[in-house]
C-alpha cells in the first residue's frame, strides 16, 4: 500500500485508495467475535479507577502488561491507521511547500543521513509498524533493514507489502515478530539502529535502549524520534494530566516520559549522547495539523463535530451489514480520544512526538 498520495498537501492525511482486501474493512487481524472483548480488555488496562486503592502508580499495571496493551491496540487500529495515514505511522516536520508524502520521506531520510547509513550495512528498525520507514530508508540508502515488531498482524502486513513491492524492498527488508525489550539476535549484530515514535510503547526507556545497545556493533549509531512531555508540562495541572492520560489511552501507551529524562536514559543504557532536540518547532506546519478539525479539507473534516457524527453513523451502518466487526465504532472512539488530545498537547506545547535523539555506542 502506498503510504500517501503525493499530490496531497502537507496538512492533509494521505487517504489510501486501496485498503487491504477483506470482508471486513477494519480489525482484520482479529476474528469478528474477538473485537468487542479485545476493546474491553484494552480499555480495562487504562481504567485507573480500579487502581485507586493500590499503593503503586496506575501506569504500573500497563507497564507490567505492555505486551497485551500493545498487541491489543494494534490489532484494533492498524487498518484504521493504514487506510487513513498510510504505511508510515508517524508525524513529521513539514514545510508549507511540500506534500505530506514528501514531508514523511524527508523525515525518514533524515534518520538515515544523521546516522550515516551506507549501502549494504545492516540496520535495525526498533518497532517497525507495517514497514513504511524501513522501505523508505532501504530505498534511500541501499542498506538492509531488519524490523522488530510485537504485533503478529503488523508483521503479516510488512511481509505482504514487501513481497508485493518486490525488488530491493523484498530483498533487503525483513521483520522479526518479537519484543524489542528482548530482541532474538546475537550481540553486536547491527551496524546502526533507529526507532520512529515506537519506543513510546516501551515499559522502560532504559530497558529498551539497553537492548538496542546490546544489538549494536561498537561505534554504531542509534537515532530516533521519541514521544515525550515537554518542560511545559505541569504534573500538578489537571488539564495537563487529562491530556497526557488521553494520549496514553488513545495511543496504546503505558506512560509518557519527560523529555528531560531521555538523555539520562540513553547514557544509563551505555550510549554516548550526541544530540537531543525537539524538531516540532522546526516545522512550518504544526505536526498535529493533520488531526485538527477543518470543514474545508476532506481529511480533516472527519474530526469536526458534524464530520464525526457522519463517520459514526457510517461505521454503525457498516457494522450492521457486516462490513465492519462489532466493536469497530468503539475502536474509533479510542482513536478520537487520541486525536483530540494530541491536538491539545500540541497546542499547549506540553507534548511533542518528535524529540530527536542521536547516540553512539562507544568504541
Contact 284, 95 (CB under 8 A): yes
pLDDT given for residue 4 in this prediction: 35
How many independent structural domains does the chain possess?
2
One domain, residues 156 and 202: yes
**Residue 21 clears pLDDT 50, i.e. is over it:** no
Please, where are the H alpha helices in the chain? 35-45, 59-64, 66-85, 100-115, 132-141, 152-165, 167-172, 205-215, 238-251, 262-269, 298-301, 305-321, 328-348
Q: What secondary structure does DSSP assign to 143-178, as a single string?
A: -EEEEEES-HHHHHHHHHHHHHH-HHHHHHEEEEES
Contact 148, 142 (CB under 8 A): no
For residue 72, tell me if it sits in a domain: yes
Per-residue pLDDT averaged across 272-287, rounded? 96
| Nearest Cα residue to 310 out of 302, 318, 322 | 302
One domain, residues 152 and 257: yes
One domain, residues 206 and 334: no
- pLDDT band for 196, please (50, 70, 90 cuts): very high
pTM: 0.89
One domain, residues 282 and 292: no
Residues 31-64 have pLDDT tens digits of 888 988 999 999 999 987 765 545 557 788 999 9
One domain, residues 233 and 291: no
For residue 9, tell me if it sits in a domain: no
One domain, residues 133 and 100: yes
Query: What is the CATH number for 269?
Result: 3.40.50.150
Containing structural domain, residue 310: 287-341
Which grid coordinates belong to 340?
483530540
Q: Is the dihedral of CA 74, 79, 84, 86 positive or negative?
A: positive
One domain, residues 291 and 240: no
Estimate to the nearest angstrom the gap between the alpha carbon of 300 and the chain centroid.
Answer: 20
Which residues are within 8 A (CB) of 166 and not within 5 positions of it... i.e. 6 or more apart?
Answer: none
Contact 248, 63 (CB under 8 A): no
Residues 95-151 have pLDDT tens digits of 999 998 999 999 999 999 999 999 999 999 999 999 999 999 999 999 999 999 999
One domain, residues 238 and 306: no
Residues 221-257 have pLDDT tens digits of 999 999 999 999 999 999 999 999 999 999 999 999 9
One domain, residues 219 and 194: yes
- pLDDT band for 16, please (50, 70, 90 cuts): very low
For residue 130, tell me if it sits in a domain: yes
Half-sphere exposure of 312 (CA within 13 A, CB side): 12
For residue 188, tell me if it sits in a domain: yes
Estimate to the nearest angstrom the gap between the alpha carbon of 173 and the chain centroid.
Answer: 19
**Mean of the per-residue pLDDT values for the chain?**
89
Amino acid at each position: 500500500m502506498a503510504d500517501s498520495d503525493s499530490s496531497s498537501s502537507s496538512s492533509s492525511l494521505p487517504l489510501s485508495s486501496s485498503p487491504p482486501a477483506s470482508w471486513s474493512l477494519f480489525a482484520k487481524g482479529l476474528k469478528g467475535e474477538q473485537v468487542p472483548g479485545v476493546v474491553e480488555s484494552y480499555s480495562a488496562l487504562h481504567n485507573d479507577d480500579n487502581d485507586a486503592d493500590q499503593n503503586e502508580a496506575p501506569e504500573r499495571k500497563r507497564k507490567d502488561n505492555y505486551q497485551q496493551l500493545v498487541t491489543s491496540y494494534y490489532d484494533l487500529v492498524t487498518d484504521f491507521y493504514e487506510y487513513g495515514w498510510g504505511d508510515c505511522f508517524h508525524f513529521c516536520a513539514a514545510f508549507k511547500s511540500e506534500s505530506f508524502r514528501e514531508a514523511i520521506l524527508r523525515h525518514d531520510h533524515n534518520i538515515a543521513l544523521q546516522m550515516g547509513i551506507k549501502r549494504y550495512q545492516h540496520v535495525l528498525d526498533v518497532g517497525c509498524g507495517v514497514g513504511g520507514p524501513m522501505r523508505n530508508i532501504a530505498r534511500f540508502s541501499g542498506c538492509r533493514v531488519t524490523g522488530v515488531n510485537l504485533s503478529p498482524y503488523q508483521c503479516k502486513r510488512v511481509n505482504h507489502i514487501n513481497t508485493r513491492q518486490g525488488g530491493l524492498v523484498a530483498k533487503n527488508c525483513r521483520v522479526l515478530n518479537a519484543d524489542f525489550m528482548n530482541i532474538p539476535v546475537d550481540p553486536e549484530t547491527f551496524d546502526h539502529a533507529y526507532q520512529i515514535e515506537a519506543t513510546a510503547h516501551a515499559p522502560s526507556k532504559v530497558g529498551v535502549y539497553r537492548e538496542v545497545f546490546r544489538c549494536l556493533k561498537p561505534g554504531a549509531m542509534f537515532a530516533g524520534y521519541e514521544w515525550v512531555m515537554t518542560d511545559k508540562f505541569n504534573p500538578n495541572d489537571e488539564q495537563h494530566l487529562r491530556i497526557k492520560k488521553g494520549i496514553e489511552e488513545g495511543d496504546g501507551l503505558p506512560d509518557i516520559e519527560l523529555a528531560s529524562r531521555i538523555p539520562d536514559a540513553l547514557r544509563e543504557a551505555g550510549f554516548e549522547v550526541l544530540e537531543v532536540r525537539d524538531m516540532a518547532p522546526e516545522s512550518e506546519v504544526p505536526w498535529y495539523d493533520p488531526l485538527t478539525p477543518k470543514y474545508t479539507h476532506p481529511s480533516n473534516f472527519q474530526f469536526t463535530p458534524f464530520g464525526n457524527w457522519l463517520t459514526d453513523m457510517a461505521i454503525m451502518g457498516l457494522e450492521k451489514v457486516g462490513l465492519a466487526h462489532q466493536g469497530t465504532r468503539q475502536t474509533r472512539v479510542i482513536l478520537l480520544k487520541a486525536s483530540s488530545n494530541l491536538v491539545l498537547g500540541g497546542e499547549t506545547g506540553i507534548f511533542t512526538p518528535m524529540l530527536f535523539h542521536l547516540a553512539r555506542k562507544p568504541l
